[in-house]
Structure 1
């Protein structure tokens, strides 16, 4: 909780004490109090109340509730402070009315009256301020959590496979001599991919249609690089409008297919991307010859972490004998 009073806090106190003083003036008028009592009592009560409020917010609450979480000491300290200030206010009022302390017959009863007086003086403004401070603290916490979430997402998005460009440049180098026409097409697809990566580098989610278009370009690079070792089919059974997935999710899943499955030259690695209501399912056949390429990419753990930050849904992974399936939830943004 922020222990400093801001501008809006002082405005609230001014309204509360201003209203209290006006109502108090009506009471004093009905009771035919002297002018000196107006001049002394109201400023004294207001100053004492503000002092107590500052002590509560800046000292007592942080010391006993925030740091120690000792509710007993908080109660005792509050009781003593309220009794002291309420009694002091009563003494000031007694002297402003022309009285003195000699007329007090029961000290304990007088202290008890002081406690009740302090509760009347301070209870309402202090309660309003504490509630306000609590909700301001909750709002700050939500903002902090939101910023932390955005930072985590950006960190996860930044973990793109660093050898992606290196592999594509090697493929392009070989194409320039062997098939210049294909090399030009390859450069075009590669530029579209990097344009997309730059455009979406800070985006948490992207439209499913855009991600599918990106995947088609990415698949072209894979097939150009590996020839007929891989086969891809995309089935769209629903409209892609107003549907989203984490940015780069398909790239990560396609990377995994190539990374963990190397064709033996006889058996094609077949991969299907199926889009149903609520799910995008990517299924690939498993190669008998496993790739030994070291994993640098975001991977499934990265995708799980991103979904944990973006949605209540979780990805599903089914690792079977002859095929590998990943179900990723389709995200519908709240309007």
Structure 2
């Protein structure tokens, strides 16, 4: 921040000279009858500004350690300013007292007056520096939040684009059109239902492609439609059990996260009539996690996983919550736990 700038010594000298110039312009020394040499006053201002600046820099440097030691729940800027007050008293009052008592041999009355004036200037300098530092801090935070917002938008759009790409790629369309074609000959009613679920899948992705979070209820409705298409396609080779209690339907998650996890499960595991793939979606008993678990039956040959889907989900959660996505893998199952979010009004 301000106190650690590379050119801080130049700024210290400029501030000291500016303050000294103001004192000369206001004719403060003759007004209060202080017989102090101007060169000594300039030197005192240079020393005081440098000590105030460097003292604040050390406070800023060791502030995390000080906060842990004091256990005060104060904003770092406020705590740093409070600590700078006794610092200013010492680093300004000390040199001023030494100069007035030993350098100029001022009488007690003039010494007290000069000390008061110097402390008043010193506290104003300290307030000025801390105000500038606070402005730089909040400006940096604003820029960081803007960058994070842009990053989140980019990552979210990537996830939505990937989801949409999966659903409009030739294989997805070809497979589902084949299923639809077969159903038209077997049962027109089932074919109509299949087409309706297919349209819901596309509608959900298009409607939620720019949202940061969605209600669990909406995500589960999308998953039911998506699972319907997969069950119609894989039949006895795939089992998808979605058992999420209504108590968590009003909570929030990131959009299409479950669908991305489901696609990963199908991509990396065998699913056949003799070895059906089981995918379960449920909530933990404490209603704090949404869980997707699938049986592990790895394909013999599959392209190496880039884990981009999981990383995308993790990063999107990182933008909206401090809770972490948990992944657990053992010999029989692969489990991903997604934090269920609360939105504060």
Q: TM-score, normalised by structure 1?
A: 0.66
- C-alpha deviation, 1:113, in angstroms: 12
CA pair 319-87 structure 1, distance change in 2 beyond 3 A: same
CA pair 179-299 structure 1, distance change in 2 beyond 3 A: same
CA distance in 1, matches of 2:322, 2:34: 67
Q: Name the structure 1 match of 2:338.
A: 328
Q: Name the structure 2 match of 1:43.
A: none
Out of 23, 32, 35, the position equivalent to 1:86 is: 23
CA distance in 2, matches of 1:183, 1:294: 36
SS at match of 1:211: helix
CA distance in 2, matches of 1:176, 1:107: 97
CA distance in 1, matches of 2:178, 2:42: 94
Task: Verify the 8 A CA contact 2:279 2:292 in the aligned structure 1.
Answer: yes
Structure number with greater Rg is 1
1:311 lines up with 2:321 in the alignment: yes
CA distance in 2, matches of 1:279, 1:155: 26
Unaligned runs of 5+ in 1: 2-60, 98-102
Q: What's the RMSD between the two structures over aligned residues?
A: 3.4
Aligned length: 263
- C-alpha deviation, 1:195, in angstroms: 1.2
CA distance in 2, matches of 1:216, 1:291: 29
Out of 180, 184, 200, the position equivalent to 1:192 is: 200
Q: Name the structure 2 match of 1:165.
A: 168
CA pair 109-302 structure 1, distance change in 2 beyond 3 A: closer
CA distance in 1, matches of 2:233, 2:261: 17
- C-alpha deviation, 1:238, in angstroms: 5.4
Q: Name the structure 1 match of 2:261.
A: 253
Once the two structures are superposed, the pairs formed by residues 172-211 of structure 1 within 5 Å of their partners are 172-180=176-184, 181=188, 182-211=190-219
Q: Deviations over 1:83-132 (max 9, x none)?
A: 233123319x97xx9xxxxx9976348846996779868974x7666555
Once the two structures are superposed, the pairs formed by residues 281-320 of structure 1 within 5 Å of their partners are 281-290=291-300, 292=302, 298-320=308-330
Higher mean C-alpha deviation, range 295-304 or range 183-192:
295-304
Q: Name the structure 2 match of 1:68.
A: 6
Once the two structures are superposed, the pairs formed by residues 111-260 of structure 1 within 5 Å of their partners are 111=41, 124=124, 131-159=130-158, 160-161=162-163, 162-166=165-169, 167-180=171-184, 181=188, 182-237=190-245, 239-260=247-268
- C-alpha deviation, 1:154, in angstroms: 2.0
Q: Deviations over 1:202-238 (max 9, x none)?
A: 1111101111111111111212222221101112245
CA distance in 2, matches of 1:208, 1:76: 60
